[in-house]
Each structure stands twice: as structure tokens, then as C-alpha cells.
A and B are shown apart, each in its own frame.
Chain A
């Protein structure tokens, strides 16, 4: 700490240069935060609860339906605690751009299966009593200014009612919140009994999209998945069962290798910043050759000089890093920039910690060669420059 003053006055020597370098580091870390949030939005929809849940879908593809009667058969399989089902409704509210998910579910089983959705007890009761009732997540409710008691018309792209109309009307009876930060509160859930009775006869009656299973023991999830698929083997609708996390991950992978894309962009960004910052620091070390010579002449050891230069670059990088991460935190907390396509857009805390570590690394790497240069300085040669 006694060298604090020395380091600080070195940084203040050329204020413009220090400030500009600092700002480019800040920008790099804002970008880091921004990309972390995008990555989180595309891949992070795995809740802690997911560890004991399995998703069962049609073996050939998710668009093919499974008989609702599979639920009883699943619940008889050893290791299965409960099973529920959902079906893709594919509805449009006013404009196709207003995308959010709406699925018919059986309220009681569904809410028990998904404790990450927090619904007040009275609203849950109201949902059980109203056939046309629906509950909607906080984000979507706020987006369209829906209140409890509103009637919401949604046009399905898939399902027609018996009248032939694709327009369905739901009564909003509850608004749920997310228990965790990565709980998606954009979907709307309505009652399966209403849906199944009202939908047009023929293809799809008594059929559902996919099942969610809660296993008794998460450690045995893989075995249970095998048992479920074996149960329906050689039937007209074979199944594929996988952990919820793997299911979500596979869904994200459909978009592309997101981790690779963000890593390459961040690589380009940090390489650039490394050049800019490294160059500035070595420039400033070169300008101070004489002074560093004086320090050595009055008894500073090589290691101390090395430490001084490294401390300077680390201070700059960490300062820039922290400011950048803070700005990124503020920017991303304002929400999804695409207007609905990325419901889970936020800057996860563990990535903030990675960012801090990265800023220290940046400081060490950029300062390393200039510091080495300063350490190897010969006193006599350096003093000659004064």
C-alpha cells in the first residue's frame, strides 16, 4: 500500500491516455456482460427444479402428439412420482410479433410439478373453479397490461374449436411470478379440460404434446427414462425421454453452437483490447525509462519495479472491468432488447465473477511484457536518458 501514491501518480501522468484506455476496457466488459446475458437467454432456461424432472416426447419429433392416456401408464412405472402434460397451442395475441407460449395443462398437477411458478393460493383456487380460466406470467401480463378479470382473445395457429373458429377466449384468473431469476414468466397456461372438450373432433382429440415426469430419486433419473421408453416401445407412438436440462439444452443447440459464437466474438474483443491497452502501457513505460532508472538507483529491487508496473496495469484493468461490469448490469437489467424473443435475458451473477477474474487476467497479460522490460532495465543506461 505504501506504493499506492507512486502508482497513482504514474496513471495521472497522462490523464487523457489513461482515461481513454480505461474507457476501452470498460467497453470490453460491457460487451462481456451483454454477451453473457444473450447466452443466458438462449441456453439458461434450466431451473434447479429440473434435476428431478424428465421430459417425454414423441420419438420422431416434438410436433407429433402422444395419447393423454400415457399419463396413467407412466405413473405406474417404478421411480416415477407424478406425470403431467402440456400441448403447444401456438396462439397469436393481436399480432404475430407478440410471441409468447400458451399451453393447456391440468392445473393441480401442473402447479405441483412446477413449484418455480408462484401463484397466490386464492388465484389458484379461482383457476380450479373457472373452466375458461388462465394464469399468465408477470412479464407477459405487464407487457400487455392484463389484469385479473380480463378476457383475452387468442387466435391459435393450430387448434380450432368445434365451431371451426380458431379464436379462443380465456379469463385471466391469476398472475404468477418466478421463484428464481431464470424462471420464464412469459407463458400463459390454461385448462386442458376446457381445451380438450372445445377442440374440434378428429385429429388430436385426447392427444397431448409432451409429458413432464417427476422422479422419486434424481440419482435414478437415467434409469427411469429408460423404463419409460421401454414401456411404449413398439406402440403406435414411441417416446423419447430425457432430463429437462438436456431437453432445454438441445432446444438451444437447434439455434447453433451459441457458446462457440459468443466465445469467438469475446475472443476478438479481448484480443483487440489487449493490443490497445498493452500498447499504451508499454508506451508509458518507455517514456518513464529515466524515472525507473532513478528508482532502481535509489535502491528499488528488480522485483519491486516489476511489481509497480504490473500493479499499474492491473489497477487500470480491474477499475475498467468493474465499471464495465456495473454498466453491463444496469443495461441488461432493463430487459430484453429484441422485444419478447429472449425471455430469460439477464446477466447471471456467476458470469460477473468470471468477468472480475478476466479483468485481473487482462491486467497481468497487458502489463507482463512492459513490466519485464522495466525490470531488465540497466540503471546506467536508463539514467543516461535523463
Chain B
């Protein structure tokens, strides 16, 4: 072997051979490429559900926002805090204040049944009762259609995700809460966060409708700064009058999303792994036939002094090029088909719906391409070894 440059030029010429002969074998090349495209599309598609869900859950939480629940409650749904407790929480050290008072909103979280537009069957839609500070605690909150509800009135505003996924939530519609009909007066966004799946009303009005007396389920708080969290937490957890747990909103929402995210990713990887095995067989088939169609050419090159290493590398390169072609098709397809697709699923922690958009992130696309490369490499390896091991004399005799 005469130096690395020569070796590389050998690889280049053998690879060129293979790549130029691809159009002649287009049936089998396309079959293998589409096989790999299928794997990548399914992998990226399924994982984009998990990525989109996680993004929706964590998007709007900022590091200087905290959430207080009854200790032992794993979600707002099962929590409970009386008015005296929520007052103590609002007045605790570390809470940001404006002229109107502390930035703390004591909230109620219940669910109501509404039909989902896509399936027509009833689902649990979250209905949240908030206090005035809620709009300042969540800084990304904007009314995009209609108006804010009037405090003290039986009116609601609806998150843009909920309005899109569930029927009867347009401005002018009415929702039935218990025995009352409440009009929808506005639609809001909250920076893509979980609140966009919710319906909001005045907490005091909701307490009355649900016979909750003067109790709440959670307190949403904006802190003076992200560092003020420990001071705030220590003050509440050491207060003997309270039985509360304090979390950063970022941690709470991340935690709420783990069950669903884990389930989807586990299933997604399992499905993609099985499909990848199938695609490897497809690639092997294609590469074996590619190699056997060129038995004579490869033998001739080797008789001329080409090294077997160059043959192995170039066959694998060919296979990887084919896989990357497939991978690119698959990644492109999944991006076009899935990215931004709006849907809703149940958040298992609170038994209520979360609306979200599927997210085909750059990381997922890279992951898809990596899978394609691996499939191509494995699919090329064995045919490459066979090509390199062929006895030259026997192969040439076939001429």
C-alpha cells in the first residue's frame, strides 16, 4: 500500500463505481432507501409527540415563579389550601410586590367535560379559577380575541389551545358549569405553555359554583428574583400554621410531564428499533445484490492492485450514502407532516387535557440521521467483507 493518499483515491474510485451504478439498480436502491426513510420518519414522528408535549408543559414557566400546594399533593387537582393559608403564602418573604399588593394568585383547578373536536368524545378540560395577580404572575399571558372576563361575573376566557381542540369554546359560546351557563368572552395565549389548554374564570365565582367555600388548591407566586426561592420556601415550610410544599414552577411542570414523555419515548424507541432491524435486512439485501452485480469489476480492480481495505470502505460508503438519502427523505417527510401539528392528550398526573403542537426539533432530525447512518453502516458491513474476501481468480473466471 503506497501511502494514505493512494488509499483514499482507491476508495474514491471504487465508491464512484458503486454510486454511478445506482441508477441501474434503482428498484432495489429505492426500496432500501425508503425502508430507512420509513424508520426515520416513524422515529422522528413519535419522538416529536414527546418533545412537543414537554415543550408545552415547560414553555411558560420562568425560574422566578413558584407554586405552592398542600404537602403530599402530587398535582393541583388533589391539593387544597384554605384562605388563611393562601394569605400567609402571599405575605411570605421573597414574594414580589406591586402597589396593588403581592404577586400571588390563589387558584382553583377543576375539570369539566367537553367533547374533543377530533374524536367527538368527552374529555376532561381543565377549568382554573384565578385571582387578579394571575396576569402579573404569568408574564406571557395576552388576550388575543375578545376581552378579559369581568371580575365577579360568570364569564370565562379560554386558552388558544383549548379553543382549537375542544368544541364550544369560541367567543360567544357558552359553557355549562354545574347548573349555570357561562359565556366565553375572550381567547388568550401564554407563550405556548400549559395554560393555553385551560379555561379561566374568577376564582371567587368558581368557588361558589363548585361549593368550595373559601378554599383554593394552589398559589402561583412571582418571586423578587430566582434567588429568593430558598428564602420563600424556608419561610413557608417552617411555618407551623401551614402544611405546604413549595416548588419552582419549572420543576413542577417538568415533573408533571415525565410520565407521558417517558411512556412515549420508550414506545417510540422500541418501535423504531424493531423497524430499524427490518430496514437493516433491506439494506443488506440491496448491498449484497450491488456487490454481486459487480463481482467482476471488484475482482479486476483487486487484480490491478487495489487493497481489500479500500473495497470494504467503499462498499460501506455506498451503503451509508444510500442510508443518508433515505434518512434525509424520512426526516424531511416527518418535518413536513408532523412539525407544528396541533393535538391534545391527557396529562396522567392531573387527568386533564394538555393541548400541544408536535415539535420536530433539530436534535430529533440529527437523531434520525444518526440512526440512518447506523443502519447503512450495518447493512454495508457484511456485503463489504464478502466483496473483499472473494478469491480474485474465481471471480475473474466468471468473465
Chain A binder among B182-190, B191-199, B271-279: B271-279
| Known pairs A157-B73, A249-B121; A31 contacts B266 (CB<8 A) | no
Contact indicator B277/A254 (Cβ below 8 Å):
no
Interface residues of B (CB under 8 A from A): 27-28, 30-32, 34-35, 38-39, 41-42, 46, 72-75, 77-78, 110-113, 116, 118-119, 121-124, 176-179, 210-213, 215, 243, 259, 262-263, 266-267, 270-271, 274-275, 277-279, 281-282, 284-285, 288-289, 343-346, 348, 351, 353
- A34 cross-chain contacts in B, Cβ below 8 A: 270-271, 274
Contact indicator B112/A61 (Cβ below 8 Å):
yes
When the two chains form the complex, which single residue of B111, B270, B275 contacts A27, counting CB atoms closer than 8 Å?
B275
Could you say which of A16, A28, A249 has the most chain B C-beta atoms within 10 Å of its C-beta?
A16
- A64, B111: Cα distance in complex, Å: 9
| Known pairs A21-B281, A38-B267; A272 contacts B178 (CB<8 A) | no
Interface residue? A282 (CB, 8 A): yes
User: Within residues 117 to 175 of chain A, which ones have a CB less than 8 A from any CB in chain B?
Assistant: 155-158, 164, 166
Could you say which of B31, B46, B262, B353 has the most chain A C-beta atoms within 10 Å of its C-beta?
B31
Interface residue? A372 (CB, 8 A): no
| Known pairs A63-B110, A254-B124; A20 contacts B35 (CB<8 A) | no
- Distance in Å: Cβ of A266 to nearest Cβ of chain B: 10
Chain A: which residue is nearest B382 at the CB level?
A16
- A269 cross-chain contacts in B, Cβ below 8 A: 38, 42, 275, 278
When the two chains form the complex, which single residue of B262, B285, B351 contacts A20, counting CB atoms closer than 8 Å?
B285
| Known pairs A60-B113, A257-B119; A234 contacts B271 (CB<8 A) | no
Chain B: which residue is nearest A246 at the CB level?
B121
Chain A: which residue is nearest B27 at the CB level?
A279
Interface residues of A (CB under 8 A from B): 16-17, 20-21, 23-24, 27-28, 30-31, 34-35, 38, 59-64, 90, 92, 96, 155-158, 164, 166, 203, 234, 236, 238, 240, 249-250, 253-257, 265, 268-269, 271-273, 275-276, 278-280, 282-283, 337-338, 341
When the two chains form the complex, which single residue of A35, A157, A255, A280 contacts B72, counting CB atoms closer than 8 Å?
A157
- B122 cross-chain contacts in A, Cβ below 8 A: 250
Contact indicator B110/A27 (Cβ below 8 Å):
no
| Known pairs A35-B271, A282-B27, A337-B266; A255 contacts B346 (CB<8 A) | yes
- Distance in Å: Cβ of B53 to nearest Cβ of chain A: 11
Chain B: which residue is nearest A256 at the CB level?
B345
Instruction: Beyond the given A60-B178, A255-B346, please list 14 additional residue pairs across the A-B interface where CB-CB is below 8 A.
Output: A24-B278, A27-B277, A157-B74, A203-B213, A203-B215, A238-B178, A238-B179, A254-B351, A265-B271, A269-B38, A272-B282, A276-B278, A280-B285, A341-B348
